Amino acid sequence: MARFVNAIEHPVVKEVRLQLEELSPFAKQQIKLVEVVAYSLNRLPTMYATSRQGYFNQHDRAITAFGSQIVEVVRRGFQIVQTGDPLHDVTPLPQKLLMNEAGTLYALRQIFRRRLLRWKDVPNAVRAAMVRGGKVSHFVEDAQDTVLQIAPVHVHKDVNSHPEKSYRPRSHQTTQDIKSYLQRANLKPSQKPKNLANEIPNSQESILDAVESDWVKEIREKDLSVMDAQELESYTLRAELGYTNVMENLVIMGIQKIAATADLGEVNFAEVAAYALNRLPPMYTTSERGFKLLSQKGLAEASREILSKVRNGILKVHEYGDRPLSPIHFDRFNQESEEAIMALRIILNRQDITIVNVVDIIKNLIS
């Protein structure tokens, strides 16, 4: 099943980190950041998406429509966590819930001591470690690495995006600003600056194109780099902090149950899951005990509602039909992981390397 991502997680984590910095050194030591994150996410609307543009639509909407609510909920979260949480437990989530492709990449970042390492960088990082005799202490971010990958923005919508609040790169706004300036200035061909007379054609549109060729293009590239960095950060957030949404597991179980008893034909189950999750209460947790308790509670109290939302999601996805969507960053990074694993098998001459054992193999290599 393709991935679905709750786009509100990234701005919530960012706000938690900002408010944490405002606390005294003593207070910081008393608070576990991830517990504030889970508390906050359980009290905010879910904004799942299954495509790249859908993710940025939802992420933008989370900030613009719910920014003040996020700030207040996070502030309350700090207060509540300091007084105690009934689901608090020192036992972290089971590793099997976190050690997927994203979790494995986060573990490799710790090994190589590289904050921005992505799957495309792993084969080169291993080669470098082998050349250095297994030493990684001198590793730095290499400009040759593919830490940030510029990719085109594809315009589309998915079932779970909100077209009324579309993400627009700043370059689009810059274009509008240039057009507005030209209209206000009422520029005519004879009024163009002399030093540009031989370089810019007469029409306003041509002037706009000439300006875009350097200024706007540079801004657009920076915007895409920021988008890519944000996606990379959100990709490993759960593994880095140690939290999960139990409701995702319950919805997947519901989809599997319905699929086992009915011929659903061609349907995008990721979109079905996102549709259902956006209409069900979140169940974020940070501990093994919390995971078990919330799983039991969900099965006992919400099974019927979950199945109902899944069925509605299947109908809605069928109604929209098969539409070309740019893959969400989880799918793109997971594809990179497959390519990296294949490269590592060749580099290390080991056909048994998988996502499950690659961390231990690399640990042994550089130890």
- Specify the pLDDT at position 16: 97
pLDDT for 92 beyond 90:
no
| pLDDT band, very low/low/confident/very high, at 3 (cuts 50, 70, 90) | confident
Q: How many helices (H) and strands (E) does the chain have?
A: 16, 4
What confidence tier does 191 reach under pLDDT thresholds 50, 70, 90?
very low
Predicted confidence at residue 237, as pLDDT, reads 93
Q: Could you report the per-residue pLDDT of 193-224, keeping only the tens digit for each?
A: 444 334 444 555 555 455 455 544 554 455 55
Mean pLDDT of 38-47: 97
Query: Cα separation of 339 and 277, whole Å?
Result: 31
Mean pLDDT across the chain, nearest whole number?
Answer: 79
C-alpha–C-alpha distance, residues 318 and 315, integer Å: 5
Q: How far apart are CA 103 and CA 109, in angstroms?
A: 10
| 8 Å CB contact between 301 and 347 | no
In which band, very low, low, confident or very high, does the pLDDT at 181 lie, cut at 50, 70 and 90? very low
CB 52 within 8 A of CB 326: yes
pTM (two decimals): 0.74
Token pair 């994203």 in the structure block, residue: 102
Domain boundaries, the chain: 164-227
Radius of gyration of the chain (CA): 24
Residue 93 has pLDDT above 80, yes or no: yes
- CB 254, CB 260: distance < 8 Å: no
Beta carbons of 136 and 129 less than 8 angstroms apart: yes
Residue 276: predicted pLDDT = 97
Residue 39, SS3 per DSSP: helix
Q: How far is CA 239 from CA 95, 232, 235, 243, 296, in A?
A: 9, 12, 9, 7, 23
Q: Which two tokens stand for residue 255?
A: 């989809």
**Coil/strand/helix, residue 5:** strand
